[in-house]
Amino acid sequence: MPTKSPKDSVSVQERVEEYSVSQLTPEALSLMADFFKVLSEVSRLQIVCCLKAGAKNVSEIIEETALGQANVSKHLKILTQAGVVAREQRGVCVYYRIASPFLFELCDLVCDALTVQMKQQSAQLQQLSRLRQNR
């Protein structure tokens, strides 16, 4: 079993600091935008979340996500072309897995940011509600 190099365990934050987004060329930013476009579709995010527990074949993905076969196949092709998902032939079945585990760190960062944003909005709504009641 291969051992992880120190580079494999680098967090997203450390990578951001190492490759500062502010230093990226427009071409590199375009590639980044394309990557985020791939993740901007709900069905693809469902598939990604489904694969977090490990590799699955198309039938297992369909069962877990309740998406149609044609829809799953289309999105798996896009995810594979983008390098988000890797495919592996096992006998007559093809299994899909997440190619880059950092993806879940990224999702966690987004979820954390959304949680903070929702808490702030909730506090603002409560404040508005109190102001309205005091009229």
Domain boundaries, the chain: 10-100, 101-135
Could you tell me the fold of the domain covering 10-100? Arc Repressor Mutant, subunit A (1.10.10)
Q: If pLDDT is split at 50, 70 and 90, which confidence band does 19 have?
A: low
- With a cut of 50, say whether residue 87 has pLDDT above it: yes
| pTM assigned to the model | 0.71
| % of residues, the chain, pLDDT over 90 | 58
> pLDDT at position 5, please?
46
49-58 average pLDDT score: 95
| pLDDT interval class at 44 (50, 70, 90) | very high
CA distances from 32 to 26, 62, 122, 135 (A): 10, 28, 32, 49
In order, the DSSP letters of 42-87 are HHHHHHHHHGGGS-EEHHHHHHHH---HHHHHHHHHHHHHTTSEEE
Please, what is the average pLDDT of the chain?
A: 87
